[in-house]
Amino acid sequence: MKAEDLFDAIGDIDDKLIMESDIKRKKKAGFKRYQGILAAAACLLLIVGIVSFLNPLVQRPGSTDNPGISDNPEGNGPLPYDPANPEEWTEPEVVENPGMEPGAEWVNFNAGPVMPMTLVAEDDNISAKRGLTYDFSGTTKENKGVVAVQDKYVLSNSSAEDREITVSYPYVGNIKDMMAAVPALTVDGNTVDADITNGSYLGYDKNGELRHFYPGVLTDDYMTMIKGVEKDWPAIDEGLLEQEVTVYEIDDFTGGNVPADVATLALRLKVKDTGKVFFSHCTGMFSDGEYVTVYVTLAHLPKGGVPKVYVIGEAAEEYSLKGYSYVQISSQYETTEVSGKVIEGQTTVEDVLWDLTNFYTKDAAADSGKKELMKSLGNDRLAEMFTDMYHYRNDGVSSDEDLIFYEPALSDIAYMAFEYEQIYYFTQTVTVPGNGSVSLTWDYVKKGSHNTYEPNEDFRDNFCYDNLPNLETKLYFTEQTAALVETGNIRIEDQNYGFDPERGVLKVTLESDAERYYMVVKVLK
């Protein structure tokens, strides 16, 4: 056996032993100050086993090995591994040049595909020619593969009578980006203001089978969303929005001498129905069916974010707030050094959601001139998500064990509502003259899909652009083409379009019944 073999085998030792070794001991000078706390903790440890089923702070429902407030609240807790010489520590460099392997399915940022325009109602008299242009002249490594997309449609009317039609254009983007710039529509060269509505988010399922609030990961996910659940959209419970809410705002949170990443406040409430309790800007929550404990760690407070616990309907019968200085696998040290106060107030669900909307949009750009519209769209999205979350917890599968996976964190879903890529629909009514045509052009910028953490240098700065030429469209296409504009700042690594810039092939005809076109480009500048 070699020393290397032994070192290698030590890499597989018992996890619990490694966790134990993560606990730091205070230096003697500071130890005195904590002696009382440690003594109390020692006593506490003795009774942990006895009260584990009684005290939600001690035993997390459904967990057998997680007896603390959290094993590592929000991850940072007492730092599990801290280099002893911080002055010698250098922050790891951030990989600034994201990319992806040509042809790879694995991406960790999917900007969503370009999808075809459709008609709200089918019309046999209308046919379309489509010309899609990717203009890479402004694409740089710094802007993460942003390409200017022009998606042009010439709609022809084969009947002698004018036809009034409503078109719908599906677009994948996020609210914050759209506050800076929204897709622009021109009809026969004239700019028009198309209506914008929310599409679906992945996870919505009316039958309660899927209840998670995440965006598409793969292009297939967007296909699923468009094909599957759009028809039932939207799903806001207006009655729920009007319900009364008691708010418990945690204010004046101070940690004294306790480091911020271990200074934790726990608000314990006795409520009639734990399914009616939600929170924002807190670290986590447990419930034992009667009491709910929401905890928040000082270091994890977002800038300007105030921890709040919401009880819908009947207010808590009683509540208490306690401070803790150290929270670990089997230790929790209650201390008065960590303190705060609770401010109780009354509001409605609707106002709670608007408060979160204002928080997540307060620093957003407003270049598009549509900030208020986007706030409203985002707020609707949040209301849809909250409707889904509320009914999941109260009418669906809502055991305490499930709450571990679906924590009622409104700030989490608000973040998703405003910053995650989602589907939006732009609609516009136009008249196509008898035996004539009308031209509609959509112009917008779009990020490239990529791997943010691409380890292979050869694949960094690679970005992918998908096009789904017939996804759920009610338009009959007589022709679809794709064109490429580039200024030597990109190189195509992989594609199925048929472009060949070296031979001057910058425009190709697409098969309208093809499922998917893709193009991976390396950005060179």
**Residues near other proteins, by CB under 8 A:** 1-15, 17-21, 23-28, 31, 65, 70-76, 80-85, 90, 92-93, 95, 106-110, 203, 212, 214-215, 217-218, 283-284, 404-405, 407, 412, 420, 452-455
Question: Would you say 177 or 454 has its CB closer to other proteins?
Answer: 454
Per-residue tokens: 4: 């290397």
Copy the structure tokens of residue 91.
């922050």
Residues 6+ away with beta carbon under 8 Å from 273? 313, 314, 394
**Under 8 Å between Cβ of 216 and 421:** yes
How many residues make up the chain in this entry? 525
| DSSP 8-state secondary structure symbol assigned to residue 112 | -
User: How are beta strands 517-523 and 490-495 bridged, if at all?
Assistant: antiparallel
If the CB atoms of residues 83 and 239 are measured against other proteins, the closer one turns out to be 83
Nearer to other proteins among residue 13 and residue 160 (C-beta): 13
Burial of 262 (0-12, 13-18, 19+ CB in 10 A): buried
CB of 281: closest distance to other proteins in angstroms? 13
Closer to other proteins by CB, 70 or 480: give it.
70
Would you say 187 or 218 has its CB closer to other proteins?
218
Cβ closest to other proteins, residue 239 vs residue 455: 455
Closest CA to 219 of 106, 100, 378: 106
CB 169 within 8 A of CB 194: yes
Nearer to other proteins, 349 or 382 (CB): 382
Please say which residue, 18 or 524, places its beta carbon nearer to other proteins.
Answer: 18
Cα dihedral 118→119→123→127 (10° resolution): -40
Q: What are phi and psi of 344, to 5 degrees?
A: -95, 140
d(CA 335, CA 375): 41
Q: Tell the smallest beta-carbon distance from residue 285 to other proteins (Å).
A: 10
**Closest distance between other proteins and the C-beta of residue 166, in Å?**
34
Q: How many helices (H) does the chain have, and how many strands (E)?
A: 11, 23
At its nearest, how many Å lie between other proteins and the CB of residue 87?
A: 13
For residues 521 and 491, the answer to whether their CB atoms sit within 8 Å is yes
Under 8 Å CB-to-CB from 390, ≥6 apart: which residues?
Answer: 237, 240, 312
Pairing of strands 195-198, 244-254: unpaired
| Smallest gap from residue 455 Cβ to other proteins (A) | 4
Q: Which is nearer to other proteins, 387 or 449 (CB)?
A: 449
* Residue 167 to residue 117: CA distance in whole angstroms: 7
The CA radius of gyration of the chain, in Å to the nearest whole number, is 28
Q: Which of 211, 236, 233, 212 is nearest to 350 (CA)?
A: 236
Amino acid at 312: I
- Least Å distance, CB 167 to other proteins, is 31
Pick 9 or 397: Cβ nearer other proteins: 9
Shortest spacing between CB 257 and other proteins, in angstroms: 17
Angle between helices 349-361 and 410-419 in degrees, nearest 10: 50
CA distance from start to end of the chain? 51
Q: Which is nearer to other proteins, 314 or 401 (CB)?
A: 401
**Which of 101, 184, 96, 106 is closest to 143 using CA atoms?**
96
Cα–Cα distance, 494 to 464 (Å, whole number): 9
